[in-house]
Every structure is written in C-alpha cells, then in structure tokens.
Amino acid sequence: MSKILIIDDDDLMCQSLSHVAARLGHEAVCTHTLAAGVEKAASQPFDVVFLDVRMPDGNGLETLPAIEATPDAPEIIIMTGFGNPLGAELAIRSGAWDYIEKGSSVKEITLSLVRALEYRKQKYSGKDARSVVLLKREGIVGNSPKMKGCLELVAQAAECDANVLITGETGSGKELFARAVHKNSRRSGKGFVVVDCAALPETLVESLLFGHEKGAFTGADQSRDGLVLQANGGTLFLDEVGELPLALQKSFLRVLQEHRFRPVGGHREIASDFRVVAATNRDLDRMVREGRFREDLLFRLRTFAIELPPLRERPQDVKELAAHHVDRLCERYELAAKGFSPEFMNVLAAYPWPGNVRELVNSLERTVAAAGQEPILFPKHLPVQIRVHVAQASVRSGQEEERPETPPPTAFPKLHDFRESVYAQAERQYLHDLISLSRDNMNEACRLSGLSQSRLYALLKKQEISHLP
C-alpha cells in the first residue's frame, strides 16, 4: 500500500482523488493549503502528491521544489482547472511527474497515478544499476534536490553511448559534469578530448579536428592526427559548441552521423569510435530560429540533455561548496583549517553569484588569502563587491518593508514611482498581447518578442500572469 498526499482547497476534488486512491488500495491524506501540504510531506512519507496550482496561499508550481526537497521526494502530479501549454511546460521542467486538467476522466487520473507508482517502485527496487551514491563525481559538490536530479541524469547517460548536451550558465560546472559522464561510462579507460569551439582558429579548424597529411598545406611538414581521431574509443567534449562556425557545422554533422572523416589532404576516410558530449551557455533553440545553428545538428547533439541549475537556485549547496573549497585552498597554501562565522555563511547565502560556482571559488581564494593565518572567516574577509551588494540588497529590502502598501489618497506620486507604475502596466499589457498574438505558442512568443524562454518565464512570473489569457 502506498501513501498519497492531496493538496487541494476543493473538497469535492479531494474526495474524488481520495476515492481513486482507495479503489487502488492506497491511503490518501488531504490538506487544503500549500503550507499544510509541505509540512505534511516533510513529516510523513508519501509516494505521490496531487498538487493543485491555484491555492489560497499561493501558486502550487512555486511549492514544487519544496515538496521535492522533502526526505521521500515523492512524485508530483499537478492538477489544475486552468490548464495551458506554458503551465504544462513549466510544471514538467520543474520536475512534476504529470500535468492534468481537473476535467480529465477518472481513467486518465488513475492511469497517471498507477504509472507514477510503478516508476517509483522500479526506482527504489534496488534492481536499478543507476546509483548516484556510486557515481565518480570528482569536483562536483552539493546534494540539493536539483543537483541530485542532474547526477541521476549523469548516471543514466553514463550507461549508454548517446550524445549528451549539457547546458547552463557560465561557471555552473558543465565541464565537470561532462567529465563525470565520461568517468562513469565504459569509455573511462580511453581519452577525454576537449575541443574549445570558441578558440578554434578559422583557418586551421578542419586540420585541428580531422588532422592532416604531410604537405597538405604550407607548414604541414608531417602528418598529424586530429582531435576526432584522438578521441577514438573515448569521449570528444565540444565545449561552447554554440561557437562552432556555421560553415563547419554541416561537415561535422556528417562525421557525427557516420563516425568517419577524411583528414585534410587525405585520400581515404578514417573511422573513429568516439562519443560526443557537448556543452554551451547559449540558447541553441534561439540560435536555430535565427539561422545561426543547424537544427539537424542540435537534434543530434541533444539526444540526452542535462540542464545545470545556477548556484542561486540551489542555495542549500553553498555551505558545502564553501567548506570543500576552503579546505582545499588551505591545504594548497599549507594553512591550518579554518572555521566560519554564522555571518560569513549568511553573506554567502544572500549573494546571487552571477558567476556561479566559478565565482564562488575565486572569491573564496581571495578570502583565504585575506584571512592569512586567522582561524575564523568573517564577512570582512570577503571581497568588497560581495559585501556591498548584500548590504545594498538588505537596505532596499528594509525600505520596501517600511513603504506603505498604498499611498495616501491625496498624495501626488513621485516621478520615479509614476514612471515605474506606467512601465509595469505597459509591460503587463505587452505580455498579454504577446501570448494572445502567439496563440499560446511559446516558441512563437519568443520569436516575436526576441526574448529567451527563461527571460519570458521570469517576466510572466514578475507580472503574476499565472495562466494565459
């Protein structure tokens, strides 16, 4: 028997879902607010959670990460009476098992629940060879729910030879994850060959990738193997693949398909058994729409996709990252181990880390150097720009709390406030018009507005547009 949690303020819906669970022989528990649901999920083991989107105390989609972070990490089925494609995409990307409209048949709801329970049983049966615990994850620090999700994908990718595309902001650890895929695969005994696509010289790019024969061009005084052949039996890592010249994308596509190529100046093709792992911080879908990246190449590269979260979306990992890298830095510089003041950790947690883990590591190196032989790290040891940013954010937050929710009726607005108000209204109307004009098509909305999907999501959330007009 499994335990099902239903988070919905509609009594009739709670009764219906409870009846579905009972018919299958499972126990159902209902809560009518998000806060009560999260508390219940944190205190009791549940296998599946039915989560309503529109709740009295907030949006269910925003609570999804908190439920995933509970000890049992239940599968989550989103229930909504206001279904739309944007909400469905956001739910699935946020980790939901399924996204169901409340008007769906009992058969559809039952099937979704049964499949979620089957998946969960298989996942924890002990027969699944994929184990995050056993992964070789050198340099990858953190155990937040989002990191665990990424590591599960690494384990899955390591079991096959499918091409992998790793996306994420600069400094989020894309190369570390690429190396983890390689180290945990059957190819780990062979080479991990890095191709920096952003640094490929245009005149020598084919020679570097495919090699050349002696005399193929001026200065080619001897034959040389290219990077593709060097990766034979191993992994070819295409770093910053979004920078790959358009002219080369077509020829590389064929190499990717056939695993054969002809060196510059050569008369016969050579085979190479390589596996491709690519990484980029660019929006390749947008580049395809703009004609700057081949769609067929993107499909080939993205057989298996891993999207790394920025550090600001996994604050639970900051303390562990800081401890790991400070210990490493102290060992490198032959310093005694250092402790952390509570305020030091508070500042680290409050800073948004636009440069992600790379920025954190660089900042900690500066911090350890500033502390020298001092045994405890305080905020004073941190780089000035970090302390300034956190202090300014704290002051702004305090001012917002003190500001009355509505100005006195007779008060005349300040010019700045008036401009902000007009801008917000115009932005909200623009978003409504954009979604209406694009007919709920996310890709079309991005094309019309010139915005990336992540930026459009952020604007919709900012304007509290929770469903499409």
CA distance 285 to 301: 12
Q: Comparing 219-228, 298-307, 318-327, 454-463, which segment has the lowest mean pLDDT? A: 454-463
CA distance 342 to 377: 9
Q: Which two tokens stand for residue 81?
A: 């009476």
Q: In this structure, which topology does domain 314-402 adopt according to CATH?
A: Helicase, Ruva Protein; domain 3 (1.10.8)
| CB-count burial class (<10 Å; 0-12, 13-18, 19+) for 463 | middle
Helix H segments across 84-173?
85-93, 106-123, 145-158
pLDDT for 389: 92
Highest mean pLDDT: which range of 100-109, 331-340, 443-452: 331-340
Strand stretches in 318-462, DSSP E: 339-340, 376-377
Q: Comparing 1-10, 187-196, 213-222, which segment has the lowest mean pLDDT? A: 213-222
pLDDT for 410: 46
Mean pLDDT within 340-351: 94
Residue 68 has pLDDT above 60, yes or no: yes
Report yes or no: 312 and 353 within 8 Å, Cβ to Cβ. Answer: yes
pLDDT per position as a tens digit, 4-58:
999 999 898 999 999 999 999 999 999 999 999 999 999 999 999 999 988 998 8
Q: Which residue has the tokens 């604050």?
A: 315
Which position has the higher pLDDT, 257 or 436? 257
pLDDT per position as a tens digit, 283-329:
999 999 999 999 999 999 999 999 999 999 898 899 999 999 999 99
Q: Which two tokens stand for residue 460?
A: 């919709």
Between helix 11-23 and helix 106-123 the angle, nearest 10°, is 60
CA distance 423 to 420: 5
Mean pLDDT within 361-374: 95
Q: Which two tokens stand for residue 331?
A: 């060992």
Residue 415 has pLDDT above 70, yes or no: no
Report yes or no: 345 and 322 within 8 Å, Cβ to Cβ. Answer: yes
Q: Reduce the DSSP state of residue 239 to 3 states and report it.
A: strand
**Phi, psi values for residue 125, rounded to 5°:** -75, -20
Residue 408 has pLDDT above 80, yes or no: no
Report yes or no: 322 and 364 within 8 Å, Cβ to Cβ. Answer: yes
CA distance 146 to 134: 18
Give the per-residue SS3 of 74-99: CEEEEEECCCCHHHHHHHHHCCCCEE
Terminal C-alpha separation, the chain: 41
Residue 420 has pLDDT above 80, yes or no: no
**Phi, psi values for residue 314, rounded to 5°:** -135, 60
Quick one: which H or E segment has residue 56? none
**Phi, psi values for residue 378, rounded to 5°:** -120, 165
Residue 419 has pLDDT above 50, yes or no: yes
Q: In this structure, which topology does domain 145-309 adopt according to CATH?
A: Rossmann fold (3.40.50)
pLDDT for 468: 46
Q: How many residues does the chain have?
A: 469
**Span 3-123: which CATH code?**
3.40.50.2300
pTM of structure? 0.70
Q: Comparing 11-15, 121-125, 315-319, 362-366, which segment has the lowest mean pLDDT? A: 121-125
